[in-house]
């Protein structure tokens, strides 16, 4: 489902999540509708779509903009979503104290008012078809229940970031430009949805997502590298 912004000023005044400078040439990929809901796995961990027999074909594409994503198959595809990727979800779970585990990996702690969204695990990317470059104006970002619980409380492996330390998300365009989003820094932890401007990246063919943090072992960052995104605002000019 796409939302067109024909009345930019009226929308800006009425809805906090809408940018004032969106116009009739802007489309929002919001992952709503039956096509997207059919891509939501159940259960969240080890479900048949992301980990079962059909996992190698788990890819998605927006019909109008061409924006697409799916599993990375970084280790050959045998382990499904455990290898990284972008999955569609609608799970809301605010219990960051008891449900901050990999079994609740597709949940976010707070709704942004829509039904569906995307969850990214590990290093992943979204892209347009080959040769297509579009301006992405903004994207809404949120922590998952799993990530937020570990950031707030620690989990016996990763330390709490409630007082110090950091966790960052880096969005890198194929032209080399980047945007860095603080998921946690010096006790300030992102706990809800945040709109992130991507205008300065310019027209892009793809965006890659990587996460890093201050609490590391020899295997890398200790905190779970999950986040959610929604409402990808794309200029169709």
* pLDDT interval class at 22 (50, 70, 90): low
Strand stretches in 30-131, DSSP E: 59-61, 68-70, 85-89, 91-92, 107-108, 117-121, 124-127
Sketch the domain layout of the chain as residue ranges: 30-235
More confident call, 180 vs 7: 180
pTM (2 d.p.): 0.90
| Average pLDDT score over residue span 2-29 | 51
Task: Write the burial class of residue 71 (CB in 10 Å: 0-12 exposed, 13-18 middle, 19+ buried).
Answer: buried
Per-residue pLDDT band at 5 (split at 50, 70, 90)? very low
Q: Which residue bears the tokens 């820094």?
A: 185
Question: Both tokens of residue 221?
Answer: 């960052």
According to DSSP, residue 36 is labeled H
Residue 68 has pLDDT above 60, yes or no: yes
Lowest-pLDDT choice from 23-32, 34-43, 104-113, 133-142: 23-32
Residue-wise pLDDT for 198-215, tens only, equals 999 999 999 999 999 999
Burial (CB count within 10 angstroms: exposed 0-12, middle 13-18, buried 19+), residue 162:
middle
Token pair for 6? 């024909």
Mean pLDDT of the chain: 91
163 contacts 187 by C-beta, under 8 angstroms: yes
Q: Which of 104, 74, 79 is nearest to 89 (CA)?
A: 104
12 φ, ψ to 5°?
-60, -40
Q: Are 213 and 165 in contact (CB under 8 A)?
A: yes
Greater confidence (160 vs 55) lies with 160
Residue with tokens 């290093």: 123
Q: Is the dihedral of CA 62, 33, 46, 218 positive or negative?
A: positive
Q: How many CB atoms lie within 10 A of CB 12?
A: 15
- Report the CATH number of the 30-235 domain: 2.60.120.1350
Cβ of 52: how many Cβ atoms within 10 Å?
12
């Amino acid at each position: 489902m796409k939302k067109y912004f024909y009345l930019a000023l009226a929308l800006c005044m009425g809805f906090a999540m809408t940018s004032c400078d969106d116009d009739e040439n802007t489309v929002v990929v919001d992952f709503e509708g039956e096509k997207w809901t059919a891509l939501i796995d159940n259960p969240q961990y080890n479900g048949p779509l992301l980990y079962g027999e059909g996992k190698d074909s788990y890819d998605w594409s927006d019909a109008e903009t061409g924006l697409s994503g799916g599993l990375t198959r970084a280790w050959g595809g045998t382990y499904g979503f455990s290898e990284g990727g972008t999955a569609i979800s609608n799970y809301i779970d605010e219990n960051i104290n008891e449900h901050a585990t990999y079994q609740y990996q597709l949940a976010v702690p707070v709704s942004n008012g829509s039904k569906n969204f995307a969850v990214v695990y590990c290093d992943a990317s979204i892209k347009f078809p080959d040769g297509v470059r579009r301006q992405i104006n903004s994207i809404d970002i949120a922590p998952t229940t799993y990530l937020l619980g570990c950031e707030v409380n620690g989990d016996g492996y990763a330390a709490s970031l409630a007082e110090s330390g950091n966790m960052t998300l880096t969005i890198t365009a194929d032209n080399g430009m980047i945007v860095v989003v603080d998921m946690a820094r010096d006790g300030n932890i992102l706990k809800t949805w945040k709109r992130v401007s991507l205008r300065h990246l310019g027209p892009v063919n793809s965006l890659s997502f990587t996460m890093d943090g201050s609490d590391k072992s020899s295997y890398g960052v200790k905190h779970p590298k999950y986040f959610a995104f929604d409402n990808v605002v794309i200029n169709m000019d």
